[in-house]
Amino acid sequence: MPFALKSLGVIVIAAAAAAGIWLYMLTSGGFDISLEDLRAKYEMPDSQYITLDGIDIHYMDQGEGPAVVLSHASFHSLRAWDGMVENMTDQFRVIRFDYPNAGLTGFDEKNRYSVEHYQELITQLTEALDIEKFHLIGTSSGATVAFRYAANNPEKLNRFVLINSAGMPRTAITNPNRARGSRLSRWMLSYHQPRSYWETALNLNVTSRPPTEDHIEMNYDMNRRADRGEPARIFRRKYVTGDPEVVLDDITAPTLIMWGMENPTVMHLEANVMQLWMTGAPTIVKKYDRLGHYPYIEEPELFAADISAFLSGEWDDQLRQTQRVKPEDLASFSSN
């Protein structure tokens, strides 16, 4: 056999062996990182744990003043709020936590990964910390949990902030979680999303400046947590929008709706629709040029300052409450 053919055979065998090893690593969790290793790498001096409903919840309780609870986005953790919290703890007691299957919180052995159960965890956490009433801030899918909590527990909230909220009705084309790429790529990503995947996703949603290397690495690590796949799929299956118009109408707390104008995931006009539907609460809509889906990561000082001003009542002269014309009033107007 000629030398060239022998060399080609060796190369093919080596490539097949490498592909086999990679495939085994992919499907057996070889690229995963354990919860224990994540905690060793990402725990902070203020990290604490509390068992709620059988789940080991990771949380931080920082600062002094009126209590503020933060509800984080999917694919993120309480660490996404780092920059903003740093600029708020001189005025507020800020409580943030990781939802089950996110960050450093443990798994839920009963598989209750849903918007409904996550609301219950907010209640249990605040009660465990002896907080009777608080401000609530939610972003993206965490805002869906938050606005449903605000509607269902009006007596618990002082003020409310929505940042680029999810939870509005979607079509197959506008669904941020719609299937993309080939079947092969989707199959591969169902097992593992490489670091480049999270770098691309963050660069798409952090629009005014590139995300830091540390932030990319943290998102990559926390989204390759061992045994995370099935809980994530359960949450996606249970995540249904229902009728947000009815839910938003039940909110009574003064509300600030914040939106990035360059948001590629949920467009800024949804802020206006939310305000229109919130007929039970005085609201302010504030939009930000250049900023994307995670504006509190891009401009943490700005968002901390604006949220603090709203929570302190400095913007109360800007609050407006939507009023709907009743059919009988419209008939009377038409007759005149």
Please answer whether residues 293 and 164 qualify as being in contact, where contact means their C-beta atoms are separated by less than 8 angstroms.
yes
Residue 288 structural domain: 35-169+178-323
pLDDT at 34: 95
What whole-number distance in Å separates Cα of residue 323 and Cα of residue 320? 9
Q: Per the domain annotation, does 332 fall within a domain?
A: no
pLDDT at 101: 85
Q: Per the domain annotation, does 109 fall within a domain?
A: yes
What whole-number distance in Å separates Cα of residue 100 and Cα of residue 88? 25
Query: What is the count of structural domains for the chain?
Result: 1
Residue 241 neighbours by CB under 8 Å, 6+ apart: 144, 167, 168, 169, 170
Q: Per the domain annotation, does 258 fall within a domain?
A: yes
The CATH number covering residue 119 comes to: 3.40.50.1820
pLDDT at 296: 97
- Taking the alpha carbons of 119, 273, 242, 202 in that order, is the dihedral positive or negative? negative
State pTM to two decimals: 0.89
Q: Per the domain annotation, does 22 fall within a domain?
A: no
pLDDT at 326: 64
Q: Per the domain annotation, does 234 fall within a domain?
A: yes
Cα-based angle 176, 272, 292 (whole degrees, multiple of 5): 45
Q: Per the domain annotation, does 27 fall within a domain?
A: no
pLDDT at 248: 96
List the chain residues with pLDDT less than 70: 1-30, 171-181, 184-191, 325-336
CA distance readout (Å), 308 to 15, 85, 250, 314, 335: 57, 11, 24, 9, 47
Q: Reduce the DSSP state of residue 271 to 3 states and report it.
A: helix
Q: Report how far Cα 199 is from the mean position of its chain's Cα atoms.
A: 17
Q: Per the domain annotation, does 203 fall within a domain?
A: yes
Q: Per the domain annotation, does 310 fall within a domain?
A: yes
Average pLDDT, the chain: 88
